[in-house]
Structure 1
């Protein structure tokens, strides 16, 4: 089966963007869970970038345990971005 020329780059771009968005969300999730949410510029930048990337997932499911709530809010959003990046990579790849 012959590979298409020129279409692999856009697929990698979509997959990379999905992975990058998910990585930002996972970093934010880890910063919250470990209590590393200090006054640092890096932590603040990650938090600022993670809020819009979480889309509608924060508060979508409500549980009584704060740790599980954070995992659901940002974990589901990270999974969403990985899936969307993979699907777009498949479509355009």
Structure 2
């Protein structure tokens, strides 16, 4: 019978970082969908943090509509970060 192995601290840290990055990207999508004013300090900070985290995804898919474009760009980036950090956590865990 194999003993259950606990998750290492490094794996937990990597998973947490991926969650925070994906949450930032999704929060930016929510702000765009709800029309939250970007002049607001929170929305502006989230946008500034989300843009570099989107990496090469902005413009990869042409959605035609501005809101759909933001959903595609930042949604794909969020999925990417969750998958990559999940894989890294599995490797280091």
Q: TM-score, normalised by structure 2?
A: 0.89
Range moving further from structure 2, 53-62 or 66-75:
66-75
Cα separation, 2, equivalents of 1:64 and 1:52: 22
Measure the CA separation in 1 of the matches of 2:91 and 2:45. 32
Counterpart Cα distance in 1 of 2:49 and 2:27: 11
CA separation in 1, counterparts of 2:44 and 2:66? Answer: 21
The answer to whether the 8 Å contact 2:25/2:78 transfers is yes
Structure 2 unaligned segments of length 5 or more: list them. none
CA gap of 1:39–1:65, structure 2 versus 1, over 3 A, is: closer
State the number of aligned residues: 91
What RMSD, in angstroms, separates the aligned Cα atoms of the two structures?
1.4
